[in-house]
Each structure stands twice: as structure tokens, then as C-alpha cells.
Amino acid sequence: MHEASVARTILEIAERTGARHGEVRIVRVHVVVGALAHIDDDALRFAFDALKTDTACASASLEIDKKRLVGSCRACDFSFEAEIPSDSCPQCGGAELSWSGDQESYVTAIDVDDEPAAGGRPREGG
């Protein structure tokens, strides 16, 4: 399952980031998933939840911002967003389309609680 390796990478990034800020409990991880990344949101959440046990992310939720495809019609110069590629332009019905969309997925933010992670010590000065 491709989503399991993506979830593992997300957790590693979150854990490293949390460790740099002391013993913190991560409450939310925000990610962007590109339209062309071929990642199923539900499968990614399932993998994240299955792999987060016994980590600083154990109680964290995963917030996914799914980027949409952008289509451009070369016949009428119309640009539009879509969830999946189509065969024709919604404006003129033409078939001269080009598609663009991000293939990458990346972590955009990590929300933490100042309370220590399970088994951790309180942060000094905080």
C-alpha cells in the first residue's frame, strides 16, 4: 500500500520536528496532497492512524488539503478545476485539453500541545 509509506514519512517528519522543540505531544499534522499524487485520503488516514501508536503523534489527527487538477482548453483558452481529468472542455466542449496538478505531497504544519508526550518530561521554560 503506497499510502502506508507516505504515512510513515509524515510521522517521521512530525516526530523529528516535535523532538527539535522538546518533549511535545503532537495534536494535528497538516498535509497537502497533490492532485496527481495518486493518494487515497481514506487509505492515508487509515495508515496514519495504524502507524501512530506509541509515538508523540499517538493522539494526533491528520488534516488533508487535497489540491485539484487544473485543466486548460487550447481551443477557447478556458481554465477550470476538476477532481478527475475529463475528455472535453466544460466551456466549449473541445477536446484540446492540457492538465496540470501537483504530484507531490508535503507537510505544511504541525500543531503541538505544550504538555509532554506520554512518558515524556515537561519542557523546560514552558
**pLDDT tens-digit series, residues 92-119:** 999 999 998 878 899 999 999 876 555 4
pLDDT at 96: 95
How far apart, in whole angstroms, are the C-alpha atoms of residue 19 and residue 26? 10
Quote the CA–CA distance of 4 and 52 in Å, as a whole number: 11
Contact 101, 70 (CB under 8 A): yes
At the top level of CATH, which class does the domain 2-113 belong to?
Answer: alpha beta
The residue type of 111 is D
Residue ranges of domains in the chain: 2-113
**Angle between helix 41-51 and helix 2-20 axes, rounded to 10 deg:** 50
β-partners of residue 31 are: 64, 107
Look at residue 122 in the predicted model and tell me its pLDDT.
40
Look up residue 121 and give its amino acid.
R
DSSP per-residue string spanning 65-123: EEPPEEEEETTT--EEEESS--SS-TTT----EEEE----EEEEEEEEESSPPTTPPPP
Closest CA to 101 of 33, 32, 36: 36
Tens digit of pLDDT for each residue in 23-79? 788 999 999 998 888 899 999 999 999 999 999 999 999 999 998 889 999 999 999
pLDDT of residue 115: 64
